[in-house]
Structure 1
Amino acid sequence: MTSLRSTPWLPALAVLGSVTSLCIGTSFAKKLFPLVGAEGTSALRVGFSAIVLLLLWRPWRWPLSRQDAGSVLRYGLTLGTMNLLFYLALRTIPFGIAVAIEFSGPLAVAMWASRRPVDFLWLASAVTGLAMILPLGHGSTLDPTGVLFALGAAVCWALYIVFGKRAGHLHAGHSVSLGLVAASLVVVPYGVAHAGAALLDPAILAAGLGVAIVSSAIPMSLEMMAMKRLPSETFGIMVSLEPAVASLLAMLLLGEHLTSFQWLAIGFIVLASIGSTVTARRARPEAAELAG
């Protein structure tokens, strides 16, 4: 019987499935905004995601030191703030644009850690893409407040990566499930205060559970499976396609049509993400050879 390790296209499909599931879940989440607002929708997604992953991973089975608990808490609080800010951005700007802006967070982390001259090319590509998207006086129709929320989510994504690395020695199911519990401490009270009793409607609760499963539980499970079987470079390249996938699915599911100018801007950001991933992964073996 053929194993998953001998069929590399299966893990690659898992990454694509993860990105697609996340984007579909977020697209459907946006349809809940008129009913419970972005705040209430974010509370449903994060709250139900925490419950689902707690039941799935049962993190209480693993010991947790005080230092690790602090790392997971910071990681989770940042994750919750990132989710909330991103959903607030989606109220007024297209999904694909919000994802592209948010990607500037992990790109900034990658560029900060890099010392290779070629990475200035990817930095230039990212800056070009953002300059084309952001409302900088060239007739952009994007809502400035929505853009600021997306930029705030980008900052949180960068911090999320930094804090996540400090908890990286923990089992992924352990840190992610507890991290989502911490994220709930930020998002759920804020969402309840905004949406109130509307969140108790059975139809709304069912929709929120569906969004949580499709946009969190399924993508995280697929990613964890793929990361064990794919080279890090391949995994990073495929995840970098998320802004393009988000834009395409938002067009199909939400009717959000981007201009050619905006598609080109997203292309620059995707190119920067793929390029930085490739050069970062190749730099490690070279550094190891020099050290040896």
Structure 2
Amino acid sequence: MGYWSSVLLVFLGSCSYGVLSTFVKLAYQAGFLPGEVSGSQMFFAMVFMWGVALLFSRRKVRGKQWLTLAGTGLATGLTGILYYQSLQYVPASIAIVLLFQFTWIGVIIESFIERRRPGVEKVAALVLLATGTLLAGGVLAGEFGSLHPVGILFGLLSAVTYALFIIFSGRVGHEISPYTRSAVMLTGSVLITFIVYPPSFLLNGALTEGLLVYALPLALFGGVIPTLFFTLGVPHVGGGLATILSAAELPMAVFMSSVVLHEKVSLLQWLGVVIILVGIAVPELSHKHRTAAVRDRG
């Protein structure tokens, strides 16, 4: 797979995650609980992905591969659990800002793993992303002062687990098909989700009472698309750059919270969205410039 195709996949996977907060809020408004929402999302994503894997991939997964892939899936499962808890206490546009801290966390983790400092273009991108986050999250308008500290804590913890998922999704199971990798990762997500939230939704009638309407799009946008796209794209772009590309999640979440949930989004927040998009573009423009320079020298 080519570099720019991989960049596009990571970008689209991130936008897919940005849709989640809106569907979660709608599910909460309909009276469903965090365990029902998170559990049904991961369960149906796993079922769908295993169906695809069985159709298009015949290679078996060995014990050690199961452990590493399922362990990576634990991180994304915890991200959903922590993020959905945060949404119970803070608005969707703020919850995504807290989760969004995975950008600099992921770059720092990668620098430790690879034992090298991040490049100038990554640092510049992080500065722009941080500035955009402050604006898009309404921090300058003083919104954080009235927020519940528990919601802030859950949001920040979700950022740590999400950064770990992005980093390790590009480092494990390369010899296995992306469909099987994604299916095993989602199995790990389901396990941790069901441990925290026993799957009562399978028996209590919630699915037939309307939960399925929210579970299916949540499974698609929050399980199948991002897990598969990250599995395909992250190995080719690297974990640090993938965390920067994943910042596309925030503009999408702010847009959805404004258009669908009718949450108030100020001009400063929209300016923050624009700055974030510029921050995402900086490393890619730098890569394009370096590639052109190498081609000219050749």
Which TM bucket (shorter chain)? 0.7 to 0.9
Q: Distance in 1 between matches of 2:261 and 2:291?
A: 43
Q: Offset at 1:32?
A: 1.5
Gaps of 5+ in 2: 112-116
Distance 1:223 1:196, change over 3 A: closer
More displaced 10-residue stretch of structure 1: 73-82 or 156-165: 156-165
Q: Offset at 1:49?
A: 0.7
Q: Equivalent of 1:94, from 69, 75, 91?
A: 91
Q: How many residues get paired? A: 278
1:18-57 C-alpha deviation (Å, 9 max, x unpaired) = 6665544542232112422222201110111111111121
Equivalent residues in 2 for 1:67-106 (5 A)? 67-106=64-103
Q: Percent identity?
A: 18
Q: What letter is aligned with 1:184?
A: V
SS of 1:166's partner is coil
Q: Offset at 1:217?
A: 5.9
Distance 1:285 1:70, change over 3 A: farther
Residue 155 of structure 1 pairs with residue 160 of structure 2? yes
CA-atom RMSD in angstroms: 4.3
SS of 1:53's partner is helix
Distance 1:115 1:56, change over 3 A: closer
Q: Distance in 2 between matches of 1:167 and 1:225?
A: 9
SS of 2:264's partner is coil
Residue 248 of structure 1 pairs with residue 255 of structure 2? yes
Q: Equivalent of 1:258, from 257, 262, 265?
A: 265
Q: Distance in 2 between matches of 1:119 and 1:24?
A: 26
Give the TM-score of the pair, scaled to structure 1. Answer: 0.74
Q: Offset at 1:185?
A: 0.7
Preserved CA contact (<8 Å) 1:27 1:250: yes
SS of 2:216's partner is helix
Q: Offset at 1:275?
A: 2.5
Distance 1:82 1:167, change over 3 A: same
SS of 2:60's partner is coil
Q: What letter is aligned with 2:126?
A: L
SS of 1:241's partner is helix
Distance 1:115 1:216, change over 3 A: closer
Q: What letter is aligned with 1:89?
A: S
Residue 47 of structure 1 pairs with residue 43 of structure 2? yes
- Equivalent position of 1:219 in the other structure: 225
Preserved CA contact (<8 Å) 1:50 1:184: yes
Q: Offset at 1:155?
A: 0.4
Preserved CA contact (<8 Å) 2:10 2:230: no
Distance 1:146 1:261, change over 3 A: farther
- Equivalent position of 2:129 in the other structure: 126
